[in-house]
Structures are given as structure tokens and as C-alpha cells.
């Protein structure tokens, strides 16, 4: 049996990357595992696993408990003791160390939770990292902390087909004023400010293009970014902030755009990049390790992290050079991209070892 942990996913209202991973893995594992997959949640009072209807479950020695969630002893009383003696096999997804790398722009609760979370992962039998970059940082963290580990640390791909739409195989450049699309929560880490700095330089030169921003506002650290976005949009009609949109609305916007942009300062995987590539949009992204893993397959223009002048130059080329954008579109349409079926198959294979 595979007991699939949905403790947070079952009650979260945010359509976050972790929510996407949980939902898509669960959906794609179902046909592979059949009736051998059971949804469970951690019961704080009983300090053990139960079904969503609160009926207790007791995974046996040959069973797996698989969690794609973040967790801590404070959030799940008794979890540390269970990991020490689970009575079954255990596997978890590892995302990133962003709360430790960017503590000044991360919710304090997440910063406080993360060291314990990364330490608990060492006690699992299998840990599946969402990129080589995240695998390396977790390996390094365990080594730095001299942490005894049981875990075999693997990587697996995240799927590009999260929208549920067929992959774009043909694409004509949209007519009219060229446009750029950025999808991501408004917060310092996603670095919308760098995009706006570069865009303002180009608008000051007289270059005619539009920018579309999509994403909710980080309730703790997003206010300064939102103020800058709304102030610029008020005086520059070429910038539109759409707020959060569903997959269908994002897909409709993507058809109108020439490329997607991701100037992020840190990512565990950069799932929106491969989702944009799936829709046929070339991507402009910062040269950080997780995004470089995606960029290597083609269809991406990599620009230096935090360099507004370099971003202005790169975007100018993309917006004005028809040959260059044509090359990127062709590479985007023809490169390999993983699906969520591939993701689930990799997880299933790891659980059969």
C-alpha cells in the first residue's frame, strides 16, 4: 500500500506550487497503484495517521507512507517519534531551502520550521528532490550539520502539463504590440522589480511593448512590490497587473505574448518555466541553478541575476529581433518536456526499489 499524505493539501486554499505537486502526483499515481493508494492525514491528537474521515490507519512493514508536504514537530505533534520508528517504509518530496537562503523575505514561521523539516527528512528511507540544485543543497545541509541520515536522496522531474491542456506544437507570433508575461506571486524573491526596472529603461527609449503580471500578493512581504507595480501601471498603460488567474485565463494571456519572463532570485525547481514552455512560450530567466536546469533543453534566454542593464538588453533583443525570437520559438516547440505521468512514474519506481 501507498499511504499518500494530504494533511495540508486537504485544507489549503492557495493554489501554490506544492499544492500543484500534491494534486498532480496523487492523480497520476492512482492509475499506477490502483486500489493500493490511500489518502491519509496526520492526526495531531492521536499522533498518527488516519483517513480524511478520521478513521485510523496503521501502515504495515511493507507499506509506504509518501508525503509531498512540508512539516515540523510543532505542526505535527509526535511526528519526530514516528519518523524514528515508523513501522513501515517512508518517502518524501524535498523542495528547496529558500526559507534559509532568503530569511529576510520569507514568512518567519517558515524560516523557523525549515531547519527541523530538513533534519527530519534525513530520517526518511527515500527523499525525492525536485531538481539537481535542490538535491545538492539538501545533501550539503546534511553534511554541514553532521546529521546522521538514513535517506537515499534521489531526484525526479516535475511535470510541465499542469494546466491539463495539450502541448503546443505550432505557434505563430501574435500580431500587434509584442507582450511579455510573468506568472508568480508578488514578492521580492520573484523579482518583479527587476523586470519593471528593465521595462522602464526600454519604454524610456521609446520601445513599444506590453508587460502582463499574474499572481497573488505575498501577504507578508509583497506590499512594496505591489505598490511599485500599481504605481507604474497607473502612469504606464503598457503594464497590466491581473492579480491571481486560473490556468485557463493564464493560457489565454500566453497566446497574446511573445515570451514569459522569470527574473527569480531563488527557486527550487521553477515549475512555471516549464509550464510556459509547454504552452509554446519561450522563456527569459535568471541564471540561477534550478532555472539553468530547464534552460539547457532549449527555448530559454538566460540573463544575469539582478542586472537590470543586461535584462534590458536581452529583452530588447527578444522584442525586436524576429530571427532570434523565431529560433527560440522553434526550440521551445521541439524540446523534450516531462509530464506529470513521468513524475508519478519516477515516484512509483522509487517506491518499488
Q: Give the CATH number for residue 59.
A: 3.40.50.2000
Same-domain check for residues 65 and 130: yes
Query: Which residues are CB-neighbours of 140 under 8 A, at least 6 positions away?
Result: none
Same-domain check for residues 104 and 125: yes
pTM: 0.93
Same-domain check for residues 110 and 89: yes
Give the number of domains in the chain. 2
Same-domain check for residues 217 and 93: no
Same-domain check for residues 10 and 45: yes
Return the pLDDT at 3.
Answer: 97
Per-residue pLDDT of the chain (353 residues; tens, 9 = 90+): 999 999 988 675 556 778 889 999 999 999 999 999 999 999 999 999 999 999 999 999 999 999 999 999 999 999 999 999 999 999 999 999 999 999 888 888 889 999 999 999 999 999 999 999 999 999 999 999 999 999 999 999 999 998 889 999 999 889 899 999 999 999 999 999 999 999 999 999 999 999 999 999 999 999 999 999 999 999 999 999 999 999 999 999 999 999 999 999 999 999 999 999 999 999 999 999 999 999 999 999 999 999 999 999 999 999 999 999 999 999 999 999 999 999 999 999 999 87
Q: Which long-range contacts (CB under 8 A, 24 or more apart) does 228-237 make?
A: 228/192, 228/193, 228/196, 229/186, 229/192, 229/196, 232/196, 232/200, 236/200, 236/203
- Which domain does 196 fall in, by range? 179-334
Residue 145 carries which DSSP code? Answer: T
In the block, residue with C-alpha cell 527523499: 127
Distance CA 192, CA 213 (A): 8
Amino acid at each position: 500500500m501507498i499511504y499518500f499524505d494530504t494533511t495540508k493539501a486537504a485544507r489549503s486554499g492557495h493554489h501554490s506550487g506544492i499544492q500543484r505537486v500534491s494534486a498532480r502526483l496523487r492523480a497520476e499515481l492512482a492509475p499506477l497503484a490502483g486500489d493500493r493508494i490511500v489518502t491519509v492525514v496526520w492526526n495531531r491528537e492521536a499522533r498518527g495517521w488516519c483517513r480524511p474521515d478520521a478513521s485510523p490507519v496503521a501502515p504495515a512493514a511493507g507499506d509506504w507512507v509518501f508525503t509531498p508536504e512540508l512539516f515540523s514537530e510543532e505542526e505535527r505533534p509526535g511526528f519526530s517519534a514516528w519518523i524514528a520508528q515508523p513501522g513501515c517504509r517512508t518517502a518524501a518530496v524535498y523542495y528547496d531551502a529558500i526559507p534559509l537562503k532568503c530569511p529576510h523575505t520569507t514568512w518567519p514561521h517558515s524560516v523557523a520550521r525549515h531547519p527541523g523539516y530538513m533534519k527530519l527528512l534525513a530520517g526518511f528511507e527515500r527523499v525525492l528532490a525536485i531538481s539537481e540544485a535542490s538535491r545538492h543543497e539538501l545533501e550539503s545541509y546534511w553534511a554541514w550539520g553532521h546529521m546522521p541520515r538514513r535517506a537515499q536522496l534521489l531526484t525526479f522531474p516535475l511535470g510541465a502539463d499542469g494546466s491539463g491542456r495539450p502541448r503546443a506544437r505550432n505557434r505563430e507570433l501574435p500580431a500587434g504590440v509584442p507582450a511579455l508575461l510573468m506568472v508568480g506571486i508578488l514578492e521580492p524573491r520573484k523579482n518583479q522589480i527587476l523586470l519593471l526596472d528593465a521595462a522602464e529603461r526600454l519604454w524610456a527609449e521609446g520601445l513599444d511593448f506590453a508587460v502582463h503580471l499574474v499572481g497573488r500578493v505575498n501577504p507578508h512581504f509583497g506590499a512594496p512590490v505591489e505598490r511599485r507595480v500599481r504605481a507604474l501601471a497607473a502612469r504606464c498603460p503598457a503594464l497590466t497587473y491581473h492579480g491571481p488567474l486560473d490556468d485557463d485565463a493564464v493560457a489565454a494571456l500566453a497566446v497574446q505574448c511573445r515570451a514569459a519572463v522569470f527574473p527569480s532570485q531563488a527557486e527550487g525547481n521553477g515549475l512555471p518555466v516549464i509550464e510556459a514552455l509547454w504552452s509554446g512560450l519561450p522563456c527569459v530567466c535568471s541564471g540561477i541553478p534550478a532555472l539553468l536546469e530547464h534552460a539547457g533543453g532549449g527555448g530559454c534566454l538566460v540573463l544575469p541575476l539582478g542586472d537590470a542593464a543586461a535584462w534590458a538588453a536581452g529583452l530588447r533583443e527578444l522584442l525586436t529581433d524576429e530571427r532570434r525570437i523565431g529560433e527560440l520559438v522553434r526550440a521551445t516547440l521541439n524540446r523534450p518536456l516531462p509530464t506529470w505521468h513521468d513524475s508519478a512514474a519516477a515516484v512509483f519506481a522509487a517506491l518499488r526499489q
